[in-house]
Amino acid sequence: MNLYEKMKSGVYVIAEMSANHAGKIENAFKIIEEAAKAGADCVKIQTYTADTLTIDCDDEPYRIKGGLWDGYNYYQLYQEAYTPWEWQQQLKDKCEEVGVDFLSTPFDRTAVDFLEGIGIEFYKIASFELVDIPLIEYTAGKGKPMIMSCGMASEEEIAEALEEGIELNCGWGPKEVLEEDGKVAGVVFKKCIRVLDEQGRFSPEYDEEQTVTIPCKHVIFSVGQAIEWGNMLDNLDLKRRPNGGALADKLTYQTSEPDIFVGGDVYTGPKFAIDAIAAGKQGAISIHRFVQPQSSLTIGRNRNDFIELDKNDIKVENYDNSSRQIPGHNDAIDTKHSFRDAKLLFTEEQVKAETARCLGCGASVVDPNKCIGCGLCAQACPYHAPVLDETAHKMRKCDACFDRLQRGLQPICVESCPNRAIEFGEIEELRKKYGKLAEVAPLPSASKTQPNLVLVVPAQARPAGDTSGTGY
């Protein structure tokens, strides 16, 4: 019975083991046995390595704070908390022994190739990878059933996927392009019965008699891409990832071979063209510096290191809990036969509702590499917190002097206020000292914005919403 038939026959229960075996294969075997006893239909693991998930970096954004893995970086975490690839054939055999299916989630192409080599029958795509189209296409190309998680996807993203009208028919290869009156009339496909040979190499084999014909007017020939170094790296000690890509410094793009610099897909794997263009620019700067005597590859370079807002540390009850706004759709555009964007702009009401979701963000950093200075955030913010830097053509916003906070110092406005009228600290502690008043003219209603703000105001202060005598 194949996967589709199993799922049609009733509830299909998948027991997630992942790396919850404490690094001991005996524990993994025991989990499989207990899952089978409990009535599970399938046991699922994850196939990855530290190198295929992240980079070995000790910078602050890559370091774990709190919990069991406190002090580790993500690379160290995944080095320990993973299921060794050499176990997985044994785990698959154990599943067959106790009568349950074996399933795994691959996170890159090398994992897919490995799983194909051990004869996996179907795949699971993690919700984080739902928008990793190259990985999905590569996995689908194996012609196996796929379970795709949408837990990280918004309703809009799922709807867009369904609206595309894409139908995947995996496991077929082109045999012949049909012609009629000098024009394309269709394509004949033949059934793929084998992808890899006995040595695990890509060597598809087809049933020439089992075919299907798809009528069409246009055929686009797509050429796949892979990293082929040839003999370029012979006698060189260039460090590489398991997928063949090169390891390099994220700022300079310099490899373990000092005079070799890389960028684009050979460094990042499949990504956007603009990322490759940016890497090319930075790589060119590095090469120029490298050939100049007494030049540094790093001095004066913008590291573009930004500290992300930690949502777990924000003590606002309704922070980011409201649903996202869905833009309207232009029904006059046939999205199946046109590349025009059918999405409409947010209405004024939707803009207000969407921006109200994040007004409790507190200290946040404007990424100058993404900001184009359009000014929409300033227009939407009822506090007029973001302002446009006319010189840089970028938006600026108070970030609470996070660089000073990291050093145990107060924000500069607090330190420099001669009357000590400003105090900075945990919002709950401030509310205990000064109360919960967070609105006064001309500020908007705090019931809608939920700001991390406490005010002590004089008796003659006007109530929130009163705009008399102001420029608002």
Domain closes at, from 276, 300, 324 = 300
Of 242, 271, 300, at which residue does a domain stop? 300
Q: How far apart are CA 105 and CA 90, in angstroms?
A: 17
**pLDDT tens-digit readout, 71-130:** 888 888 888 888 999 999 999 999 999 999 999 999 999 999 999 999 888 888 887 787
Contacts of 117 (CB under 8 A, 6+ apart): 196, 200
Query: Does residue 337 fall inside a structural domain?
Result: no
Q: Are 187 and 104 contained in the same domain?
A: no
| Residues with Cβ within 8 Å of residue 7, at least 6 apart in sequence | none
Residues 246 and 207 placed together within one structural domain of the fold: no
**Beta pairing, strands 183-196 & 202-215:** antiparallel
The Cα–Cα gap between 56 and 73 comes to 8
Does 144 share its domain with 76?
A: yes
CA distance 112 to 126: 13
- Note the pLDDT of residue 2: 61
Q: How far apart are CA 19 and CA 441, in angstroms?
A: 55
366-402 burial code (b ≥16 CB/10 A, e <16): bebeebeeeeebbebbbeebbebeeeeebbeeebbbe
Whether residue 20 is found in the same domain as residue 101:
yes
> Does residue 194 sit in the same domain as residue 110?
no
Does 153 share its domain with 241?
A: no
pTM more than 0.85: no
By residue range, what is the domain housing residue 285? 230-300
* Residue 294 included in any domain: yes
Mark whether 21 and 62 lie in a shared domain.
yes
User: What per-residue confidence (pLDDT) applies to 93?
Assistant: 93
Q: CA triplet 453, 459, 465: central angle to 5 degrees?
A: 55
Q: Please give the distance of CA 281 from its chain centroid, rounded to a whole number.
A: 24
Pair (16, 144) in one structural domain: yes
Residues 81 and 28 occupy one common structural domain: yes
Cβ-based neighbours of 310, under 8 Å, separated by 6 or more: none
How many domains would you assign to the chain?
Answer: 3
Predicted pLDDT at 459: 73
Residue 400 belongs to some domain of the structure: no
The DSSP bridge partners found for residue 176 are 188
Query: Which two tokens mark 374?
Result: 């359009």
Report the CATH number that the domain containing residue 73 is assigned in CATH: 3.20.20.70
Q: Which two tokens stand for residue 370?
A: 């993404």
Residue 88 belongs to some domain of the structure: yes
Is residue 239 one of the residues assigned to a domain?
yes
Residues 156 and 283 in one domain: no
The pLDDT averaged over each successive group of 10 residues in the chain (472 residues) is: 63 87 92 92 91 85 82 88 92 93 91 91 83 80 81 68 58 89 91 82 84 86 72 88 85 93 87 86 93 87 61 51 76 78 85 65 70 79 82 84 84 89 88 88 75 81 63 41
Q: Do you find a cis peptide bond into 242, omega within 30 degrees of 0?
A: no
Sheet (strand 14-16) strand order: 14-16, 42-47, 101-106, 123-125, 146-148
pLDDT of residue 472: 39
Query: What's the confidence (pLDDT) of residue 5?
Result: 67
Q: Where are the alpha helices (DSSP H) in 230-335?
A: 265-268, 273-291
Give me the pLDDT at residue 316, please.
47
Tell me if 364 is assigned to some domain: no
Domain annotation covers residue 79: yes
Question: What span, in angstroms and rounded, lies between the C-alpha atoms of 120 and 46?
Answer: 13
Co-location of 211 and 65 in the same domain: no
